[in-house]
Amino acid sequence: MKLHDLAPAEGAKRPRNRKGRGIAAGQGKTAGYGTKGQNARSGRGGKLYFEGGQLPLVRRLAFKRGFRNPRRIEYAVVNVGDLMERFEADAVVDRPALEQAGLIRANELPVKVLGDGELDGPLTVRVDAVSASARVKIEAAGGVIELLESVDA
């Protein structure tokens, strides 16, 4: 097979509809555009968002305000209080343990520990990020924090 042998499958390409080319073409006279009116004229219709004088949809909706940071890092968050409920003292808390405990979903998001709640016993926490208040509580309880590869901010 050579390049000149290539052709689309039979019936895959339909000829374009040549409107306004006489009766024999099947789309003569008004060419399927009806009679008179703005949409029958050459140039076909008015402005894209014009709705006949009614306030257009884009002006009826509220402005989308604010700022979305393109470099924001989305975290799967876990609170210190949740760790104490699910893990014994001196336990190692990492992604597999958190997934097994049902605290995070098995997804790609990095894990961050936040400081809500109290911690009674020491834990070894291996996560991607820890808030300042969580760090204070974990270390005060005698725990150890091991941060995984740093997530670029």
Strands (E), the chain: 76-79, 92-93, 111-114, 124-127, 129-130, 144-147
Instruction: Examine residue 108 and state whether it is found in any structural domain, yes or no.
Output: yes
* pTM of the complete model beyond 0.75: no
Q: Residue 130 sits in a domain of what CATH number?
A: 3.100.10.10
Number of domains in the chain: 1
- Summarize pLDDT for 45-82 with one digit per residue, the tens: 777 888 889 999 989 998 888 899 999 999 999 999 99
Question: What is the distance between the alpha carbons of residues 81 and 78, in angstroms, rounded to a whole number?
Answer: 9
How does the average pLDDT of the chain come out, rounded?
89
Instruction: Examine residue 113 and state whether it is found in any structural domain, yes or no.
Output: yes
Question: What is the distance between the alpha carbons of residues 125 and 119, in angstroms, rounded to a whole number?
Answer: 12
Tokens of 31: 């060419």
Instruction: Examine residue 18 and state whether it is found in any structural domain, yes or no.
Output: no
- Closest by CA position to 83, among listed 71, 70, 94: 94
Q: How far is CA 86 from CA 2, 33, 76, 121, in A?
A: 67, 69, 17, 12
- Summarize pLDDT for 15-41 with one digit per residue, the tens: 888 888 988 888 888 888 888 887 788
Question: What is the per-residue pLDDT for 47?
Answer: 79
Question: What is the per-residue pLDDT for 112?
Answer: 95
Question: What is the per-residue pLDDT for 70?
Answer: 94
Instruction: Examine residue 38 and state whether it is found in any structural domain, yes or no.
Output: no
